[in-house]
Amino acid sequence: MLASSIRSTAVRSSRSIVRSEVCPSVASTSRCLSTASATTNSTTNKVNDKSNLSQTAQKRGFASPTSPNSMATPVEVAQPDIKAGLGSSQGSGKNLLNSVLSSAPKYADANRPIYLDAQSTTPVDPRVLDKMLPFLTNQYGNPHSRTHAYGWESEKSVEEAREEIAKLIGADAKEIIFTSGATESNNMSIKGVAQFYKSKKNHIITTQTEHKCVLDSCRKLQEEGFEVTYLPVQSNGLIDMAELEAALRPTTSIVSIMTVNNEIGVIQPIKEIGQLLKTKGAELSKQAGRGSSKPFFHTDAAQAAGKIPLDVNEMGIDLMSLSSHKLYGPKGIGACYIRRRPRVRMEPLINGGGQERGLRSGTLAPPLIAGFGEAARLARQELAYDHAHISRLAERLRNNITAKITHVLINGDPDGYPGCQNLTFQYVEGESLLMALKDVCLSSGSACTSASLEPSYVLRALGLDDANAHSSLRFGIGRFTTEEEIDYVSEKIISVVTKLRDMSPLWEMVQEGIDLSTIEWSG
C-alpha cells in the first residue's frame, strides 16, 4: 500500500513539472517526490512523513575495511547514483527500502544465531542490494527487447554485469554464459562436452571429493555408456598429479576438478593440471588420431571465485562454474565460463530462444544479474582485505579451540582456503554437538547432502573412519564475521565438547590410556 501510494503521488505530481526535469539522484526518493508535489499540500505532508520515518530509523553497521569489528549486519552504506528508468518519472524506492531495513532485526543479535556457514551461502552485501533495487521496481524491461528503451537499459545492465564477472576470473565478457547457479553450470559443462564429442571420445576424469552435482552428472553419463575415472585424493585432500597423468587416455574428453573444496577448503593445483592437459593430454589425442584437441579442463569454482585470485588463461581452464550467492550476491543466478579460443563446443541442456550464444536459452533476470555483477566487482575490489580478515579470524578460531581442548583434528590441507575450517572433535558425536549449539549456525558437511545421515564422503576420502567423520564440523567464516563472534563460538565449542566428553564412556577409556583400536566390540 505504501509503495502504491507513493507511486500514485509521483504520477499525479509529474503533471505540474516539465517532463525533462527529473530528479538527478535517487539518494532520497522522498526528496524527489516532495519537490515534484510542491503545489499539493496533502501530498507534501505524506512524503515528508515518510522522509522523517527514514531519518529517525535506527542505523546499523556491518563489517567493512573501515569498521571490521562491528556486528555482522548489512544496511547503511554509500548509496550509488541510480537514476529512474528511461521513460519514467518514478524514483528507485530506495528511501522506502532503507526504512524497512532499518527496523528489521540484525543478522546476529540476541534473537538470531551467529552465522558460520559461509560455504552454504553468504548474506547479500548491502551494496549489491542497492544495485538490484531499480530492476525490482521501475527498470523492469526484458533485456532481449531490442525495440524500446526499457529493453535497452536492462540489456546494458546485463552486459555491464557480464564484464565485471569476466574481470573477476580474467576472461572475456563474451565467454560468460548466465545460468541458474553452479549446479546447472556443472551439469551443462560435463554433460554438454561429453555428449558433443562422444563419437570420438567417451572418457571423463573427476575426483572422489567433487560436489555431488558433478559426481551425479558423471554417474548419469556412465549409465549412458561413458567411462569415468574417479581419482582418489591424499590425506590432505590434494590429488596426486602422477595418478592424474596415468589416468589420461586418448579418448579423454573432459577433466573436471574443483578449485576449492566446499567441505575442507583444499585448493587443488589448478595451474599444474591445466598445463598437464596442454602437454600430455594433447599428445595422447594426436597419437591416437583423435584430432589435435586436448581434453577440456572444467573446474567448479563456486567456492573460489572472489576468495582467491583466478585467471582462466594463466591456469589453462576451458570451462568454469560460478555461483552468485557464494560471494555475497543473490541466489538463483550463476554463470559458466566457456572458452571461445580455442573453441569449446557442447550440446546445450536447454533449448529455446537461442539466448546466451544458443547454449542456455531463456529470458535473463536483470535484477539477479545486476546483483551478481556488483558482487563480482566488490569481490575483486576487496579480495585482499577479505582474505586477510578471514585468515586472521580462522587462525583465531583454531588457536582458541586447540589451546583449551585436545584430540582435535584439522581436516584438509593447511594451505587451503582459510574461510573453510573443518575440525574433528574426537569422541564426540557431531550431531549431538550441533544440537547443543543452537545459537550457532554450523554444518557437518555440504548443505546439498545435509539431509543424509551418512558420514561425509569427502572426509571418508581423506581416510577418516566413520566415527571421526561423524564428529566433524565445518566452520564457514565470511566477510561479515567478527572477532566477537569467533570468540563466542570458540568458548561455546570448548564448553559443549568438554561436557559431552565427560558423558562419554569412550572418552573415559581414552583418559585411562586404553587403545580403543585394540578392543573387540560385540555386535
User: By the 8 A CB rule, do 339 and 174 touch?
Assistant: no
126, 73 Cβ separation under 8 angstroms = no
Distance separating alpha carbons of residues 149 and 223, to the nearest angstrom: 49
Q: CA triplet 336, 337, 342: central angle to 5 degrees?
A: 140
Q: Please state, as a whole number, how many other Cβ atoms lie within 10 Å of the Cβ of residue 159.
A: 14
Whole-angstrom distance, CA of residue 247 vs CA of residue 242: 9
What stretch of H or E contains 319? strand 319-323
Torsions phi, psi of 322, nearest 5? -130, 155
Helices 94-102 and 41-56, packing angle to 10 deg: 40
Q: How far apart are CA 47 and CA 12, in angstroms?
A: 13
* Residue type at position 460: R
Q: How far apart are CA 94 and CA 112, in angstroms?
A: 26
* Element containing residue 43 per DSSP (H, E): helix 41-56
Closest Cα to residue 104, out of 128, 80, 73, 132? Answer: 73
d(CA 307, CA 379): 7
Residue entry with cell 595422447:
284
In sequence order, the β-bridge partners of residue 422 are 411, 474
CB 180 within 8 A of CB 154: no
Instruction: For residues 121 and 441, give the distance between their C-alpha atoms in angstroms, rounded to a whole number.
Output: 12
Task: Please tell me which residue in 32, 213, 218, 448 is annotated as part of the active site.
Answer: 448
Residue 365, all three cell numbers: 533476470
448 is catalytic: yes
Q: How many CB atoms lie within 10 A of CB 216?
A: 15
Grid coordinates belonging to 211 = 560436489
Element (H, E) at 244: helix 241-247
DSSP state of 178: E
Residue 167's closest CA among 383, 363, 344?
A: 383
CB 231 within 8 A of CB 247: yes
Pairing of strands 176-179, 334-338: antiparallel
CB 153 within 8 A of CB 391: no
So which residues are the catalytic ones? 448
